[in-house]
Amino acid sequence: MSVGEELLFPCVLVQRKRIHCNRVVEMAHQLRPAT
């Protein structure tokens, strides 16, 4: 399981917190270089 997936998994469980989810997505993109 990659770091991004590990962060996004709980995000999927808590879809109500979309703002937090978007922030997690941004963090995940920063952790791994964009292709």
Q: 10-31 pLDDT, tens per residue?
A: 656 666 666 666 777 788 888 7
Residue 29 pLDDT = 80
Residue 20 pLDDT = 63
pTM value > 0.75: no
Cα–Cα dist 35/32, whole Å:
9
Q: Do the Cβ atoms of 28 and 3 come closer than 8 Å?
A: yes
Please determine, for residue 1, whether its predicted confidence score (pLDDT) is greater than 60.
no
Residue 8 pLDDT = 65
